[in-house]
Amino acid sequence: MKRIIRVEGELAEIIPAYLEHRREESARLPALLAAGDFEALRIIGHKMRGSGGGYGLDPLTEIGERMESAAKAKDKTALAAQAAELKGFLEDVQVEFGPDK
């Protein structure tokens, strides 16, 4: 099921690169989790928590917050769930660009 997010103005120019960066990070998560690199996982979660809403992507903020907390707790099960949720979101999100109002 596609999640449609409509963006306008300056976001239309920068959101594709932002999402591509999140996809690259998402692809790294299984290896980081397998290596037990909780600090790298925490940093990724922290960055998403701080930036998602600014791009109109509140689900990324929520996933990032849970990921950051799970990394601090060294909870591999929760981190795996967040990695799967992030991957699913990034696969399902469809950004539509509109004119400035």
Query: How do residues 44-88 score in pLDDT, each as one tens digit?
Result: 999 999 999 888 889 999 999 999 999 999 999 999 999 999 999
Helix, coil or strand: residue 16? helix
Computed over every residue of the chain, the mean pLDDT equals 91
- pLDDT number for residue 44: 97
Residue 8 pLDDT greater than 90, yes or no: no
CATH fit for domain 3-98, picks 3.30.420.10, 1.10.10.10, 1.20.120.1200, 1.20.120.160? 1.20.120.160
Rounded-to-integer distance, Cα 36 and Cα 76, Å:
8
- Average of per-residue pLDDT across 12-21: 89
Q: 94 pLDDT exceeds 90?
A: no
**pLDDT confidence tier of residue 36, bands split at 50, 70 and 90:** very high
Domain boundaries, the chain: 3-98
Q: pTM (2 decimals)? A: 0.88
List CB contacts of 98: < 8 A, sequence separation 6 or more: 6, 7, 8, 12
